Amino acid sequence: MAADLQGKRVAILAADGVERVELEQPREVLDKAGARTEVLSLDEGEIQARENDLDPAGTFGVDGLVAEASVADYDALVLPGGTVNPDQLRVDKDAVSFVRDFVESGKPVAAICHGPWTLIEAGVATGRTLTSFPSIRTDLRNAGANVVDEEVVVDSGFVSSRPLLAPRPPHRAFSSCPGAAVCASRPAPHSAPYPAPTARDAPPRLAR
């Protein structure tokens, strides 16, 4: 996997309130795969992370402003969760526009937990098969998405995931896909084999 994403540039769009594990673990997987990850946000400086939505969990440095970012400069996009994080992104016109343009570009997009909220606001969830945190599934259905209760779903360039809780190795089906990050952490109450994701389409691959 180390060379699969070598030289690829991946945007991680997040704001204050991002669930720490849902930014940290995907970034670690992508970095180990050779990608260059950059945190984009609404303001310069740092964003405040949370654990289980409520507890302070440190900060992440911001690499660039989404208002100044260009879709052309990135090969893939990751949307971590946390309740407050996407709630801020979905009311910011620059963040919503960036997500909409990214999806329309056809490049891979990964959304975790509450991350699909921004997809709804961007008007790009319609007709997609997605999973998410249970509390936003009605929102997704109302936006025209086909919602399923599965750990990981791949659908036409989209990779969506339920909440990430504990680190586990990425599933092999995502070994050459930036959406591998979504599978980087899963609940692990026992040592059962890692479940295969549901694939409506082949796992999205970065353009070479």
Tell me the C-alpha distance between 92 and 112, whole Å: 19
b/e map of 166-181 (b: 16 or more CB within 10 Å)?
A: eeeebbebbebbbbbb
Tell me the C-alpha distance between 43 and 8, whole Å: 24
CB 25 within 8 A of CB 57: no
b/e map of 27-47 (b: 16 or more CB within 10 Å)?
A: bebbeebebebbbbbbeeeeb
Choosing from 8, 90, 107, 114, the catalytic residue is 114
Is 190 considered catalytic here?
no
CB 113 within 8 A of CB 80: yes
Q: List the catalytic residues.
A: 114
